[in-house]
Amino acid sequence: MKKYLEEIRKLNQLQYSVTQEKGTERPFDNAYNDEYRDGIYIDIVSKQVLFSSKDKFESGSGWPAFTKPIDENIIETKRDFSHGIIRTEVKSVEANTHLGHVFDDGPDGNLRYCINSSSLLFIPKEDLEEKGYGEYLYLFDS
């Protein structure tokens, strides 16, 4: 992805492994598993908005889990047969960033998007306007 080459160069070793080589970070040892402030999660490479904290839940898996993306059109899924199991990989459409996997065992019959923190950046609600994401403040209206 030539468009995002500069952003990819800024990634640390783990972020590169996860986003570009379909790696996985260690469970319970990542930045956002225990993050529960209001805010949005964006693709670390493209800065495209992916998930809202309103759809985040504690899955017990050790990785951030969401019931859905903000917009279904910003992600794509692909069958993943690696590691001797069948899973569904989740990637961002814009930068083709590997995010994690999606499973059908979420709460109340929803999906569970199990996402690597290393593929994300979190922007707290109070910083959305300043960081250029003010249009997403509506997500946090009561």
Which residues belong to the active site?
Answer: 114
Integer angstrom CA distances of residue 128 from 16, 120, 124, 136: 26, 15, 7, 7
CB crowding 84-100: b at 16 or more within 10 Å, else e: eeebebbbbebbebbbb
Give 80's strand partners.
87
Helix (H) or strand (E) holding 20: helix 13-21
Decide if 122 contacts 39 (C-beta within 8 A): yes
